Amino acid sequence: MTIDHEFLKKKVDEFVSERPTYLALEKLLRGVFEAASLKFGMPAFVEGRTKSLSSFAEKVIRKQAKFKSDPTYDITDRCGVRVITRSHEDRLIVCRSEERRVGK
């Protein structure tokens, strides 16, 4: 596999400049779901993750042929949260409350 080092550096630099926004979003989402679980009295474990720079760079290299346009935006797992509850029903209550709150 041939790596275009200039392209890779450009994409990693773009992600470096955007990563603080994803870290803030991760923190916000964790807080939202933790507050929702407390509001409904349902214990939940909420964890978040923002893609690391090394993971982003590795994915750009590994999947470069599969990107439709721009890996900075084609990589969809830049930030996420996981909500773990005691039951599926508890998870639905917490998630649906937040969907209604944000107008989905």
CA proximity to 75, closest of 6, 1, 19, 3: 19
Question: Is 42's pLDDT higher than 70?
Answer: yes
Type of residue at 21: T
pLDDT, one tens digit per residue, over 48-85 is 999 999 999 998 888 777 776 776 677 888 999 988 88
pLDDT, one tens digit per residue, over 44-55 is 889 999 999 999
Higher-confidence residue of 16 and 93: namely: 16
Q: To 10 degrees, the CA torsion angle through 60, 67, 27, 41? A: -130
Q: Kindly indicate the confidence band of residue 41, based on its pLDDT and cuts at 50, 70 and 90.
A: confident
Name the pTM for this structure.
Answer: 0.77
Six token digits for residue 16: 């470096």
